[in-house]
Amino acid sequence: MQTNPVSPPYSSLVAVGDSFTEGMSDLLPDGSYRGWADVLASRMAARTPGFRYANLAVRGKLIGQIVDEQVDVAAAMNADVITLVGGLNDTLRPKCDMGRVKGLLTEAVERLAPSCKQLVLMRSPGRQGPVLERFRPRMEELFSCVDELAARHGAVVADLYGAPSLADPRLWDVDRLHLTAQGHRRVAEAVWQALGYEPEDTEWRVPMPATPPPGWVTRRVADARFARRHLLPWIGRRLTGRSSGDGRPAKRPELLPYEGRA
């Protein structure tokens, strides 16, 4: 007689981080964002009556702001699972003190790990391209710190950086910094499996079938649109010390029952 696999005993989830965890650019018809954390919460809720979920993430946040504004709030919720993704925004700044970034990430992990049954960290996905290539050494230094902290504090790591599928430009939005809905679903699957659930997509790492690359004119039009809509405003915020998340509240600030859709 075959028995069904037992799901991990997780009844609550708190997500901590920046725009990646908020869910940009997985846009819903009502103008809100879904994202991988919502997809993950929906799956967990479908298997656990009374499941609760909070998402404290706010776009544009640096690791220092995540520590100051989100970590203690998340720790006080005593959720079964906490996900922490942060520091990547720092690595993309022209001036970045990696020692400080790693120190703050360490502080966050040390405060969150004792407050939950399972802490989830992440090696965020990276795209090929001239802009990110400049910052890649910093990103990899951050991810090495993530691995060390996970080993020290019993956290699990969802390795998105090493997934060939997430290097595909078709899984990224036109801003070239955030994943599409399909990309977010793959991230949710990665965290789902890292938590010990039975895989729903065993091939989330596998690249999509190849298609003919866009022509020169199409690429140049896309480059111009990207620069006008995303790159120039991003540079403007950096020069003026502003953030896209200034004054924006947390996505889901309270740990409440969740019956969202995946």
Percent of the chain topping pLDDT 90: 63
Q: Dihedral of CA 109/115/119/122: which sign?
A: negative
- Sequence-distant (6+) residues with CB within 8 A of 75 are 82, 111, 112, 115
| Residues near 31 by beta carbon (within 8 Å), at least 6 away in sequence | none
Q: Are the C-beta atoms of 125 and 163 separated by less than 8 Å?
A: yes
Residue pair 229/174 in contact by the 8 Å Cβ criterion:
yes
Average pLDDT, the chain: 86
CA distance 165 to 206: 5
pLDDT digits (tens, 9 = 90+) for 237-246: 455 555 555 5
- CA 57/CA 41 separation, integer angstroms: 14
Concatenate the DSSP letters of all residues of 103-122 into one string: HHHHHHHHHHGGGSSEEEEE
More confident residue, 86 or 223: 86
| Chain segment 101-141, per-residue pLDDT in tens | 999 999 999 999 999 999 999 999 876 555 577 888 999 99
9 CA to centre of own chain: 23
> Can you tell me the mean pLDDT for 222-235?
52
pLDDT for res 3: 43
User: What does the alpha-carbon distance between residue 55 and residue 46 come to, in Å, rounded to a whole number?
Assistant: 18
- For residue 73, report the phi and psi dihedrals to the nearest 5 degrees: -60, -45
Task: Give the pTM.
Answer: 0.85
Give 220-228 contacts, CB < 8 A, sequence gap 24+: 222/174, 225/174, 226/174, 226/175, 226/176
CATH numbers and ranges of domains, the chain: 12-208+251-257 (3.40.50.1110)
